[in-house]
Structure formats: C-alpha cells, structure tokens
Structure 1
C-alpha cells in the first residue's frame, strides 16, 4: 500500500508539473510569414522599376547606367545604332570591362558595321540564334546588378531622339538574376532554365502575361503600341470593351504598319476610340491605372510566340505614373482615326 501511495503521489506531481498552462496563458507564436517566390508577374519588388519616356529623357537612362560599369556589360538588341550607347560600349571594352553583345542576325545589313566596330574595340559580339524569327529584345545588364530594358532600339538620331518609346531601369535582385540566366543561355545557344520569374519573356510566357493584364482590366485599359495585329490580343480587348471597360488605343500610322489599318476598323466597330501619332514605336498597356506592361514585345503573333523578347509587368505606382502621364499627353495631341 505504501508503494502504491508513493506511485500515485509521484504521478500526481508529474501530472501537475507537466500540464500545459491554460489557453489564455500560453505564449503566442506568430505563424511563419510566407515569402513571395517571384514566380508571378505581380509579385512585389524590393526596388521599384524606374520608367521614363523618350525622346524627352534622351540617352541619359541608358548612358548613365553604362557609365557606371566596372566589370561587365551584357547586351541584347535588335538594332544597334550610332550614339552614346555605342560610344560607351566601345570605351568600356577598351578600358577592360567585359562587354558581350548579341545582335539580331536577320538584320546583318544594318548591324554588321556595329558588329565590326565593337569587335575592334575589344568587345565580344555574337549573332542571334536563327531559331528566333527575330532577336527583338532590347536590354543590357551592368555588373550583374542593374538592367535597362526598352521598347526602342539604340540609334540616337532616330530611335531615341525621334520615336515614342519607354525605358525601364530595374535593380531588383530576382529580376536581374533571371535576366542573367536568360542572357547566359542565349549566349551559349541553349534553352534558358527559367520557370519562376516576374519577367515577360518571348516565347516563354509573354502571351499569357500580356493577356492576363488585359483580361484583368475592370474600368480602364490604355494601349499605346506600334502594332495591334495579334488576334488573341484583339479578342481580349474586344471582351473588355464589351464588358464596359473604357478602352483607348494609340497606334502607329497605318500607312507605316499595314496590320493597323484593319486594327482600326476592328476597334472602331467596337466603339473604341483610336488615335495615331508619328514615330509611335512603344509597346505598353495600363489596366485600371494599377497594372502595366512595357517591353519589346509587340502585340503580334510573331513577337509573342516566335521572337526573343523581354519586358516587365509593373504594379508599383511610381513605375506606372510616368506611363499614364505620357499616354494622356500623347492622347491629347494624337490624330483620331
């Protein structure tokens, strides 16, 4: 009996000491915060993308970043041109910075002289892989830290000083890592291993991401584009217009871009106002003033599905505001079609 009493006593003590405190006395442990994986185009950035319009901004958005290069410049462009960009590439290559440039091989008649100039300065230069209909991306990465993407090519006298374009400067580490991966794969002639990215890349994910921005518009949709030829894009815009979204479209002159002639008819039948202005070369759209796309992708089937192209989806207010401001200014001076 004494042994049983001791066992019961010890059991009672153990039960008393080991029992959890009442619920209202237990410490509160915060649930782990889920970190964004940057697989979605609208995942937040650590550093907002800076967007400016040309010709107003001139060459500065390009040359100010190139001037800071200490170790490397990796660049892809459809058409190179004379001006500050080419001059900085030459100077940096001569100064010992590793400069690698990829030019569109289908435009050798235009790009060959720049190819030769860059090689003579010490840069490494390659032609694009012919598997792409056009190597139409326009971006460069400096020191693996900052990328500059644009809707326009690199001729100062024409693309930069005359055309309507946008330039986006991106220093977000995840975006830069993806662009480095893309460049290295294209340089090596391999398929980029990019399955989780914010970026808009043709022919990887551009179609679905641009359509997602259009399909998400609830109140307003502003489109400013050199081309409006792709039927998937056209039908997505049609659906938004029929749903009551206020759509406005700025295009390049139909006498320059043949596909825009029918695009105008298509849009006007929907009651969508369409305007044009000279030297319209940009590729951008803004939905509800809250989500935007800007990049090298035209709204054409070739551009979305067969080219190498690069762009971004933006949700940061500071990034979108210059695009909205520029569109509104262009709309005021545009010519109705």
Structure 2
C-alpha cells in the first residue's frame, strides 16, 4: 500500500513538472529563443536627439569618467567585459559614496577568457558596489553593452576595456528619449534578477534585442535596401544573413561588407561572391549597418547565429540623422577603402 502511495506521489510530481511547471521551465531555458519579431516590431523610423561617440580616440575613457562623475541618481551597467581601469573604478566608488545607486551586471563566462571579469567583480564587491554575473542558463553569453546614467542611456558596440577606448573601431550612441530609456531600465532589471522577458508588444520599434527580435530586425533592415547597404561589422558568418546579402547583390543592389580580419570571416568571404573587405587597423569591433535611405543600425550584435539567436544583445535603429550617417560613412570609407 505504501509503495503504491509513493508511486502515485511520484507520478503527480512528474505531471506537475511536465505540465504545470513547463511554462516556467521553458521560459528559463528556451522561452526567448525563436520568438521572431512581428509586424508591429521594427516599423517606422526612429529619430533621437542623441549623439554618436566614436573610437579609438585620444583620452578615450575621459567622456565616460566625466559622465560617471556627474551622475546624481543612478549608474546601471550591463556589459560583456570590464577590465581593470583605476580611473573608472574610482569614479564608480566616488559615485556610490555620494549616494548614487550603482549596479553592475557582467558576463561570468567570457568566450576564450572565462575569468576576465573576476578582477572587476572582486574590486566592485570589496567596495560594496552591487555586482552580479549574468544568467548563463538563459543565454549563451550576455554580450550586450549598454548602461544608464541618470536620464541618459548608452548603447555601445564595445566593452569597457583598454582596447575599446584606444585601439578598436567602436561607437556609442548616447540618447535620452523616454521610450528607449524606460525599456533599457526594464531589461536591466529583469537581467539583473535573472528573469526572462518575452513581451514582444512592449519592445519599442527602434530596439534590436537578442534573442527575441535581433534576427527579425536585422533581416528586415537588409531586405528593405533600395540601392545600397554597407555592413560594418566585426564578424559575419550567419548563413541566412549572407544569403540575404547575396540576393541583394544578385538583384543589382550595391552591397559592401567590411569586417575584421578574423578566422570566421576568412572562412566565408572568398566564397561569398560579395564585395567583402577584411579591415586592418584599427581593429574593427563595431557592429554597424548603413542603408542608402539614411537608416542606421548600431549595437552589440555580430552577424553570427549565436549572437542573433542565443545571446542577450542590445542594439538600436536610427533614422533621420544625416550627421551620424555621414560621420560613420566617412569612417567606413577611410577604414575599408570604399
């Protein structure tokens, strides 16, 4: 009788896990993958009064330290890699000591250098700054690079490393529009709490976020090319993306791809049939698209399957900003010779 009773209990527990608890389990592990964007996502142009900051530049970290030093209420940082920088650490500590809410979210398993963020985490914790590693059960990597300082937000192509400030080709978009800022606040909070987010209707049309809608947004951006598109991205290996670019090229559109000279790109560029440049110095770490109608994509997303479908990534679409378009277009010309 007792054995039968325990068997019944085990069956009921299994049923709970299989049915009642399935929604929570699936969201934690798989819920955000394969959720493609819908028609209301990515529609319309977005223009913000923000600014672009380009790298490498002399005194590269000065602008960031200045922003931290001027913070009055909060500094929330979600970034893939944060290596030792005494001036930035001190600025964050000073901000905390004057009552600013400082929170930092770091990737705990960086590809190729899994312990690279340990030192930053240790220093921040020793100074009683709230710091966490990201949820690797939910995302392969949290490769996003964004932060909020008071009412401003920053979406970056690069990390807080010496190479970012002084050696790489990178860009940051700084803005303050309410829709983007409030959305980034929400994403930072759910990521910091290791919770999921899949409310597609709440994503502003300018946001490009993996794993929910990056593929949809980026493929849509490519497909809507009228005459010319420039791809200025560190790594491009996703076959769907390459096929879309080839289709444009075959239809007489001008497609120029400029990437870093790395192993992944070298494996595909010769056989792609595309006008493809492997850039040299400065090292191309940016993730940018420029379309002939003046629209711009800027974000953390490489055009790889993992980046688009499995990581947490963050990017933004910009329209009606000829000044930003022309600045990046000139960088592209000088860097890629086209």
- TM-score in same-fold range (> 0.5): yes
| Cα deviation digits, residues 284-328 of structure 1 (max 9, x gap) | 111115111110010000000100110101113233222212111
Displacement of 1:54: 0.2
Q: Of the candidates 166, 171, 179, which is equivalent to residue 171 of structure 2?
A: 166
Secondary structure of the residue that 2:76 maps to in structure 1?
strand
| Mapping for residues 146-225 of structure 1, pairs under 5 Å | 146-155=152-161, 157-192=162-197, 193=199, 195=201, 196-197=203-204, 198-225=206-233
Distance 1:228 1:86 in 2: 34
Shift of 1:194: 5.0
Question: How far apart are 1:247 and its partner, in Å?
Answer: 1.4
Deviations for 1:50-74, whole angstroms, at most 9, x for unmatched residues?
1121002622443332222111111
Q: Which residue of 2 aligns with 1:286?
A: 290
Do residues 300 (structure 1) and 304 (structure 2) align? yes
Task: State the alpha-carbon separation in 2 of the partners of residues 129 and 241 from structure 1.
Answer: 39
In structure 2, C-alpha distance between the alignment counterparts of 1:41 and 1:82, rounded to whole Å: 40
Q: Looking at CA atoms only, which structure, 1 or 2, has the larger radius of gyration?
A: 1
Q: How many residues align?
A: 288
- Measured in 2, the distance between the counterparts of 1:86 and 1:263 equals 40
In the superposition, the TM-score normalised over structure 2's length comes to 0.80
**Structure 1 residue aligned with 2:242, among 211, 234, 251?**
234
User: Which 10-residue stretch deviates more, 290-299 or 103-112?
Assistant: 103-112
RMSD: 1.9
- The equivalent residue for 2:72 is 70
Q: Unaligned stretches of 5+ in structure 2?
A: 1-39
Residue of structure 1 in register with 2:334 after alignment: 329
Q: Indicate if the aligned counterparts of 2:226 and 2:293 stay in contact, CA closer than 8 A.
A: no
Q: Is the 8 A contact 1:152 1:159 kept in 2?
A: yes
Asked if 1 retains the 8 angstrom alpha-carbon contact of 2:52 and 2:171, the reply is yes
| Cα distance in 1 for residues equivalent to 2:226 and 2:243 | 16
